Each structure stands twice: as C-alpha cells, then as structure tokens.
Structure 1
Amino acid sequence: MSQLPPLLWLQAFESAARTLSFTAAGNELGVTQAAISQRVRLLEDRVGQKLFVRHARSLTLTPAGQAWLPSIHDAFVRISEGTLEVFGSMSEQPVTLRTTPVIQQSWLAPRLIAFHRAYPQVAIRLVSAIWPDDFGLEGADIEIRYGKGEWTGVEMQSLGEEQLLPVCSHGVAEQLTTPADLAGHTLLHATGFGVGWPGWLQEAGVAHLEAQCWSMTCDHQVMTLALASQGGGIALTHRRLLERRTDLVAPFELSVLSDERFWLVRPSRRLIRNEAALVWKWLCDSIK
C-alpha cells in the first residue's frame, strides 16, 4: 500500500505554502479556507510534523515545510508537463487572465477586443482580483499584477513606469486652479497604493492640506474613479488609466512617480499552451 498522503492534502499544502494563505489556496482549488486548513492539519498528522506556523493574520512555513515544498511543487509541475506532452492541450480550454477590475476596464479591454477580432477562435476567460491574496498563477495562464515585481517563479513584462495624478469630474475641475484649491474637497483613497495622496500633496508643496480635506476610502480604484466621475471627490489614479476615459479630467499637470507598476506575469516553470503564448505576445507587443 502506498505511503504517500492523499493528493488533495498535498495540493492543499503546495498551494497554501506557495501563497502563504489558506484563503488564497482555497480560491485556487475551488474550496473553502476551512477545507484547506483541515487538509493541511490531516497532512501534518500524517507526516508527524507541523508544516506551518499559524499567526493571527498570516502563515509562515516551518523548516520542515520549507524543505518539503520544492519537491512537492516540482512533482505537480512534472505531472502537468507530462499530461500536456502525452495528451496535448485542449483547444476548447480558454486562456485565463486574472487582474484587477480597473485594469480590465481601461488597459486590457481595448486590447482584448482587438485580439478577438484577429483571433476569434481563441477563447478568453477573465477573472477579477482585488487583494494580493487573490493572485496566484494556479488556474491562470496570465496575470496583470501591481507591485514592485518581486515575485519568484514567474516571467514578467513591465507595462512601463507609473505616474499618479489627481482626477475628477469636469464640474469639480472647474473649481480647481491650483493644488491649494483642494482644501474643503473630498479626497478619494484606494487602499493598496505604495504612493497615495500624502505623497502627491507633499510633491505639490501642500502637505498640510490633507487635514483641511474630507476623505473617503475604497478597497479598489473602480469605486474611487466612479465616485470621482460623478462629482463625489478627487481620486488619485495612474495616468495610463485615463487613456480612454471621457468622464474624468486631470485638473493639475503635476504627477508623482510610483516605485510600483503593472506587470504582465506568467509561470516560468510550466509548458505554455499555444493559445496562451499568442495572447501573451499580443499583450506584450501592445505595450507602449
């Protein structure tokens, strides 16, 4: 009888160890966070050692978990590669892209429309992600992530440097001539930015104004931009996201450089299907 633990337990460990999140592992494998936690505990009981240190809001690997992860990860990669080599890819399987809603609506949408017109036979599946734990290349052929590009096990292509600047409706813009005019207005904040309103206000020489402004915070840019477009305040966003919008205007020319940027990301240790390679090349070629 095989002494190997059940495959589902090993999958749960590999995904949770790679993402350091039971929630993210559950999203990848299509089960609940509780199911992942239970499978990992059963696996720990089987091998007789703890694999994770469980903190209040995070996970870290124990030395045993760190030592075991490369072997388990490589085993799943070899299974995947062997399956593709023997059976080939399924032409009806869509190419899955995962990224945030705001980059889908602005940067990605026009490029996918052009791609579909050129290659209508290639099926595309879009998956939305908001929080860092939502990302993870299990189940996705290509992702567009935001950050400093410090990920391992992936191939990356930068979309270019990012400049952040204020945007608002045309009506609000008429009230703003200089940054000092922001006093008394509502600043719309999106969580997760390395550079936010404090950085822009400091660059504009009016850092003290933040205390004289109202504020509203949203968990993603889609909502801050929607509020700004309807006169609900001034949002801080990436210059590239204004390319095709007519409902927003930048009242000031000043922008601040961010040390984070958007990246095209795909696995570096996986056989790439022809359809996914075609989408990847199209998106890379479209970067200005």
Structure 2
Amino acid sequence: MSVAVPSLNWLRVFEAAARCESFARAAAQLNMSPAAVSQQVRALEERVGMALFERHAHAVTLTEVGRAYLPSVQQALLTLENATEGLFGAARAQQLFVQSVLIFAQGVLTPGYEDFTRAHPDITLSLTTANLPYEFSRGFTDLQIIFGNPQAFGADSDRLMGERLFPVALPPVAEALIGPTDLLQHRLIDVVTHRAGWPHMFEKMDIMPSRAQYVYADSTLMACALASEGVGIALARAPASDKAVREAGLVPCLPGIFAEGREAYHLVYPDRAALRPPARVFRDWLLDWCRSVKLSH
C-alpha cells in the first residue's frame, strides 16, 4: 500500500527535532511551542505508520527507521531551498542548476570549470551528478547532461560529443601485449550500463571472444579503479574518461586499436526558448568547450 507524501511542515519539524535531539530545542529554532512540535512529529509518524523517535525524559533519539529516513528528508529540503532561492530569491537571475553523468562531470566539466567561472563570475553554478535514469528525475535542474537517448530525458537537446573506446591497463600489462588476441589472456573489465563494451571492441577487431573472462563494473570510474589495482584491462571512453585513466595510472594497450562508441553525450532541457539567462550562457559556453575538447583528440 502506498503512503501519501507527508506535509512539508511535518518534514521540516522532523528534521529540526532529529538534528537537535530535542523537541524543546527544535521548537525554539522553529518559533513554535514544544507541544506543537510533538504534535506534528506524531502526525508524521501516524502518516508513515512507524515511530521515528524514541522519547526520553529530556531528549529524543531517532529510531532505526528514523535514522534511515533523515538523510532523504534533509536532501529534499535542501534541494527545495536551493531551487526556491535560485528561481525566486534575490540572486535568481544568476543561479544555475546543472546535473550531469558522473564521468562527463569529472572528465569534461571539471577541467573547464575555471574557464567558465572566469568568463562568467556573476553566475553561481550548482553541479550535481547522476548515472541511472531515475536519478535524473530527482530535484530541479535547468540543464542535464546525459549519455544515451536524449528523447528519454528532455524535449530539446544538443549533441555534445561521442566516445572512442580503447583498452587501457597498468604499464607492465600493456607492454606485455603483442596482438589483440593477447587481450584474452587477461580479465576484461566491462561497464554493464553501456551498449558498447568489450563485445563491441572484439567485433571491430574481428576476434571471437569465446575465452574471454569478464569482470563487471557499474561505471567507467570504477572500471579504471579496478584496472589500477591490477584486476584486469579496462576500456577507456575518450575524451570523457581521459582524466580518470590518467589519475589511475593506466596507459593505452595496443596503439591504433580502438572503436567508436554507439552512443553520445547530450545536453537536454524542456524548451530552448524557455531557458533562463544563466542556462543560455552555460549552454553556449558548453558547446564551445566541448568542441575544443574534441579538437584536442
């Protein structure tokens, strides 16, 4: 049975009481009476059907389910506060909310962050990351940078860049590889969320990978981390993965062996004409920045 979303005020009172570990101190912060705080917490507990606090003589402590619930409530309240201030507060014209696939944020946006802030010091950028489709539906964002089909995320979009796949490993492993079939002597780290992986590489190399041993990871960052520990050979996804590959101490295997990916990164948003001014500025900068990144490869 589904539970209706609780009152925002109940959640605000719950968060304050949990943080203060006292209904009285929470009441003072919220300019309410302790009895009103207790009443609203009780109403929330009745709505969710579970006790969120253990009551003591002069304090309260969270129950196990209360501790599990608190981080989500705090994140939701913070997201709402930031979105409200960004859209309607005194600095609303210059607050910008961008959500990006983690590997793109780490490998493309991070190196360009200072370039953007120097050119536009009046814009405050709030950058969050996500990887799975359902994570992109959480909270307010002006713009989203996704990997895959843009129509699944927004009505309007711009293609930013594709990817080039090639094997990377620790230098001793890479140096020992003579030809493509030598790859089959090692564990191959694949990313389960990508359409293009090791099978795609073997198809391009015209190799039957019947003896391949796979290790699966949920992201390219994790694949690089595993390869840096000698677990096996990962696939770089240039240019977005360049920073991760470099920081993991990995090098290309078999120079000249690569495959173009099957999907691309896109900037998505509901309507280009309706973009707020800072979002339009960021879009123009990002398109130029991505062109410069691609030209360097």
TM-score of the superposition, structure 1-length normalised?
A: 0.63
Distance 1:104 1:130 in 2: 11
Q: Are 1:139 and 2:140 counterparts?
A: yes
- 1:112 matched residue in structure 2: 113
- 1:249 matched residue in structure 2: 251
- 2:62 matched residue in structure 1: none
Q: How many residues align?
A: 208
- 2:286 matched residue in structure 1: 283
Instruction: Judge conservation of contact 2:236–2:242 (CA < 8 Å) in 1.
Output: no
Instruction: Judge conservation of contact 1:177–1:251 (CA < 8 Å) in 2.
Output: no
Instruction: Judge conservation of contact 2:153–2:268 (CA < 8 Å) in 1.
Output: no
Q: CA deviation at 1:135?
A: 1.7
Q: CA deviation at 1:91?
A: 3.3
- 1:159 matched residue in structure 2: 160
Instruction: Judge conservation of contact 1:137–1:266 (CA < 8 Å) in 2.
Output: no
- 1:195 matched residue in structure 2: 196
Distance 1:144 1:248 in 2: 26
Q: Please tell me the residue identity of whatever aligns with 1:169.
A: L
1:89–1:148: structure 2 CA closer, same or farther, 3 Å change rule?
A: farther
1:114–1:157: structure 2 CA closer, same or farther, 3 Å change rule?
A: same
Q: CA deviation at 1:113?
A: 2.1
SS at match of 1:212: coil
SS at match of 1:241: coil
More helix by share: 2
CA deviations on 1:137-170 (whole Å, 9 max, x unpaired) are 8511111111133336432111233322212222
Distance 1:212 1:221 in 2: 23
Distance 2:154 2:223 in 1: 33
- 1:168 matched residue in structure 2: 169
Q: Please tell me the residue identity of whatever aligns with 2:217.
A: C
Q: Please tell me the residue identity of whatever aligns with 1:119.
A: H
Instruction: Judge conservation of contact 1:171–1:231 (CA < 8 Å) in 2.
Output: no
Instruction: Judge conservation of contact 1:198–1:207 (CA < 8 Å) in 2.
Output: no
Q: Runs of 4+ in structure 1 displaced over 6 angstroms?
A: none
- 2:100 matched residue in structure 1: 99
- 2:187 matched residue in structure 1: 186
Q: Please tell me the residue identity of whatever aligns with 1:108.
A: L
1:153–1:226: structure 2 CA closer, same or farther, 3 Å change rule?
A: closer
Correspondence 1:1-288 to 2 at 5 A: 90-91=91-92, 94-136=95-137, 139-151=140-152, 153-208=154-209, 211-244=210-243, 245-246=245-246, 247-252=249-254, 253-268=256-271, 271-288=274-291
Distance 1:197 1:95 in 2: 38
1:125–1:166: structure 2 CA closer, same or farther, 3 Å change rule?
A: same
Instruction: Judge conservation of contact 1:165–1:238 (CA < 8 Å) in 2.
Output: yes
1:222–1:152: structure 2 CA closer, same or farther, 3 Å change rule?
A: closer
Distance 1:189 1:243 in 2: 17
Distance 1:133 1:270 in 2: 26
CA RMSD of aligned residues (A): 3.0
Instruction: Judge conservation of contact 1:163–1:238 (CA < 8 Å) in 2.
Output: yes
Q: CA deviation at 1:93?
A: 6.5
Q: CA deviation at 1:262?
A: 0.7
SS at match of 1:192: coil
1:242–1:219: structure 2 CA closer, same or farther, 3 Å change rule?
A: closer
Largest Rg, 1 or 2: 2
1:89–1:140: structure 2 CA closer, same or farther, 3 Å change rule?
A: farther
Instruction: Judge conservation of contact 2:192–2:217 (CA < 8 Å) in 1.
Output: yes
Q: Please tell me the residue identity of whatever aligns with 2:213.
A: W
Instruction: Judge conservation of contact 1:137–1:143 (CA < 8 Å) in 2.
Output: no
Percent of residue pairs bearing the same amino acid type: 29
SS at match of 1:159: strand
TM-score of the superposition, structure 2-length normalised?
A: 0.61
Give 5+ residue unaligned stretches, structure 1.
Answer: 1-7, 10-37, 39-83
